[in-house]
Amino acid sequence: MSTVDEGDRLAAASEGARAVGAGRVGIGMVGTAFMGAAHSQAWRTVNRVFELPATARMAVICGRDAARTEAAAARFGWAATETDWRALIGRDDVDLLDICTPGDTHAEIALAALAAGKHVLCEKPLANTVAEAEEMAAAARAAGTVAMCGFTYRRVPAVSLMAKLVAAGRIGRIRQVRACYLQDWLVDPSAPWTWRLSADRAGSGALGDLGAHVVDAVRFLTGAEFEAVSALTETFVAERPLPGGTGNAPVTVDDAALFLARLGGGIVGTFEATRYATGRKNALRIELNGSLGTLAFDLERLNELEFYDGTQPSGEAGFRRILVTEPDHPYLSAWWPPGHLLGYEHAFTHQARDLLAAIGGGEPVRPSFDDGLAAQRVLDAVGRSARDRAWCPIVH
Ligand code: SOE
């Protein structure tokens, strides 16, 4: 561990020590990869940006490999390390379990944390099956602690603004939804196998990884539940090389999922999640067509929202681009002056903000584990519909 890293780590620990008694919330995070890094950035930043009734203390990070976890602790600013997540459950310096692990471990960790009276932040999708998600949601309701599912895109300011405009009736009654999440990191057949390509580990492929975000965002924006779906899925590359060149492993999940849906309120929609949209790197796109107008968002232009106000005189109507960086836009008053733009990571800091506000100030927390369960039911129905080549109803 380098001196600088040790310095970061001591700074984190001393900051946490200062916070003891000042509404401190000890965080114990399981996972050291991409989501572990993103969540660490959020915990490190949140109290430096937002005035909150609670302060996050980055108490302990947990990973199976001791050396890699030590390196992550030094790099990300965690005060301690563990190699068994069960140790976090028993630590009295951990008030919140932050689960950043593959989907096959979410239920076991979350249930143990809730039973121990901890708050929980669980990465999406909530679980790999509806049964697991039902158990987790019931445990969260019984525990009475704060339990959030990490659908961070609700907290991109432009998406939050989109929800506010819908709720204010600015596009009237929603008729159609058009939503997709397009990536292309598997287009190269030589891209190595990962746990995300195993149904046992990940539950599903693009559907659960990317489609879950689409489902949650549409539930959040419309306030409507998915009622029935008709789907198809495809796996384009059936096996991939194992890292280290020790042979190949089968791909047992979808590479792409496409589905039609009926939602409450008479809404109809078309949906897509794929890792084969060559050239599209991280394009979560949502368009809502209403009786009075349209709103459209693209994650690859995440500071912008397109708005067509159909109430304007036809000679003046047209799509306008709202640059969502004004201080009265959601979360923006804490950041930079208009036009100075936010990024992917800021939604994670907003997620941490809302968690601390819920823990320290009793603010309601969404998306809850019940939201995670609702999304899981849609994912499950899409999988069954694709398998059975038939419409599949969804019972919530
Ligand atoms: C997939 O590549 C992924 O990392 C998702 O797992 C995340 O949820 C999404 O935010 C970015 O893309």
* CATH number of the domain to which 357 belongs: 3.30.360.10
Instruction: Please tell me if the CB atom of residue 216 comes closer than 6 angstroms to any atom of ligand 1.
Output: no
- Please, are residues 140 and 147 in contact by the beta-carbon 8 Å criterion? yes
Using DSSP's 3-state secondary structure scheme, residue 209 falls into: helix
Question: Residue 361's pLDDT is what?
Answer: 84
- Please, are residues 25 and 356 in contact by the beta-carbon 8 Å criterion? yes
Select from 162, 350, 166, 187 the least CA-distant residue to 279.
187
Question: Residue 353's pLDDT is what?
Answer: 97
The model carries a pTM of 0.94
Same domain, 72 and 184: no
Same domain, 170 and 146: no
Same domain, 379 and 289: yes
Ligand 1 atom nearest residue 213's Cα: 8
> pLDDT below 50 — which residues of the chain?
1-4, 10, 12-21
Domain boundary among 152, 184, 216: 152
Same domain, 335 and 231: yes
Question: Residue 297's pLDDT is what?
Answer: 99
Q: pLDDT (tens digit, 9 = 90+) per residue, 302-324? A: 999 999 999 999 999 999 999 99
Same domain, 311 and 377: yes
CATH number at residue 142: 3.40.50.720
Question: Residue 346's pLDDT is what?
Answer: 98
Question: Residue 15's pLDDT is what?
Answer: 45
Same domain, 128 and 264: no
Q: Which of 126, 282, 344, 351 to mutate to test the pocket of ligand 1 (most atoms within 8 A of CB)?
A: 282
Burial 180-209 (b: 16+ CB within 10 A, else e): bbbbbebbeeeeebbebbbbebbbbbbbbb
Ligand 1 atom nearest residue 185's Cα: 2
Question: Residue 22's pLDDT is what?
Answer: 52
What span, in angstroms and rounded, lies between the C-alpha atoms of 334 and 168? 24
Same domain, 246 and 301: yes
What span, in angstroms and rounded, lies between the C-alpha atoms of 370 and 364? 13
Domain boundary among 152, 183, 212: 152
Give the relative orientation of helices 369-388 and 130-143 as an angle to the nearest 10 degrees.
170
Taking the centre of ligand 1 as the mean of its atom positions, its distance from the CA of residue 210, in whole angstroms, is: 7
In the numeric block, the tokens 């990940």 are attached to 202
Question: Residue 364's pLDDT is what?
Answer: 79
Name the β-bridge partners of 147: 120
Taking the centre of ligand 1 as the mean of its atom positions, its distance from the CA of residue 54, in whole angstroms, is: 28
Domain boundary among 94, 118, 152: 152
Instruction: Please tell me if the CB atom of residue 209 comes closer than 6 angstroms to any atom of ligand 1.
Output: yes
Q: Which of 210, 254, 285 to mutate to test the pocket of ligand 1 (most atoms within 8 A of CB)?
A: 210
Using DSSP's 3-state secondary structure scheme, residue 301 falls into: helix
Q: pLDDT (tens digit, 9 = 90+) per residue, 14-48? A: 444 333 335 999 999 999 999 999 999 999 999 99
Domain span at residue 54 reads: 2-152
* Number of domain units in the chain: 2
Same domain, 66 and 199: no
CA angle at 367 for the pair 116 and 78, rounded to the nearest 5°:
55
Same domain, 125 and 162: no
Give the relative orientation of helices 106-115 and 130-143 as an angle to the nearest 10 degrees.
20
Question: Residue 8's pLDDT is what?
Answer: 52
Ligand 1 atom nearest residue 38's Cα: 10
